A and B are shown apart, each in its own frame.
Chain A
Amino acid sequence: GAGVSQSPSNKVTEKGKDVELRCDPISGHTALYWYRQSLGQGLEFLIYFQGNSAPDKSGLPSDRFSAERTGGSVSTLTIQRTQQEDSAVYLCASSVDGGSGDEQYFGPGTRLTVT
């Protein structure tokens, strides 16, 4: 079956612009995660959605970052007023239900470059 998909695969934007990154999880997975992979910080957790529960936003680095998940499926990560330090690969993952034994399946990522 189809895996996690993300779009765009690459995004180049100017400093100060807003960007939206999209994630389509595996069908039927209720848990969705965003991570960021950057040279300076490695792989870091950003946000977690599980069903209709309030998301865990504890990993978002600033209030310029926000995310939503519509209809329990597709998720959009929005970065406002982008800065050069936002340049990174943004990874989305999904899992069946977020349980402790649950495997997280990762998408190919969106490479964001802020010039």
Chain B
Amino acid sequence: GDSVTQMEGPVTLSEEAFLTINCTYTATGYPSLFWYVQYPGEGLQLLLKATKADDKGSNKGFEATYRKETTSFHLEKGSVQVSDSAVYFCALRNDYKLSFGAGTTVTVRA
């Protein structure tokens, strides 16, 4: 079945540091790939997505590229802020179901 493996946390960074969260997947067919974010006390929100190979999703300074050859969708941000502290989930979608990774908790210190 479909599955997503993402880098385990927690990750603690200083403000303006570079962030990478690794994500790899196993799936049949051609899934769409997503990063969701859950800020403290809030619900799950879509951060970015890519629907086919070599697509790059981007939002709020975050980027991720759909790499079919390595079955990866790593999340990156060049300069994090305290407000980026959250739990980040990598997910794939085949048909309508989302399959999520375990989540990575990121804390950014001022």
Contact = CB atoms under 8 A, between A and B. Distances in A.
Interface in B27-75: 32, 42-46, 49, 51
Interface string B63-107: 000000000000000000000000001010101111111110000
A106 B44 contact: yes
A48 to B, nearest CB: 6
Interface residues of A, number: 23
A100 B32 contact: yes
Contact of A100 (B46, B93, B100, B103): B93
B45 A100 contact: no
Nearest to A41: B102
Interface string A30-46: 01010100000011110
Contacts, number: 47
Contacts of A42: 100-103
Given A33-B96, A42-B101, A107 B43 contact: yes
Interface in A95-115: 95, 98, 100-104, 106-109
Interface of B (DSSP majority class) = strand
A108 B38 CA distance: 10
A91 interface: yes
A50 interface: yes
Given A42-B103, A43-B103, A104 B43 contact: no
Contacts of B43: 91, 106-109
B89 A43 contact: yes
A114 to B, nearest CB: 22
Given A42-B101, A98-B96, A100-B95, 18 more contacts: A35-B98, A42-B100, A42-B102, A43-B89, A43-B100, A45-B97, A45-B98, A50-B96, A56-B96, A100-B32, A100-B93, A101-B32, A101-B51, A103-B49, A106-B43, A106-B44, A108-B42, A108-B43
The 10 nearest A-B residue pairs measured at CB = A43-B100, A106-B44, A108-B43, A98-B96, A42-B102, A45-B97, A106-B43, A48-B96, A103-B46, A42-B100
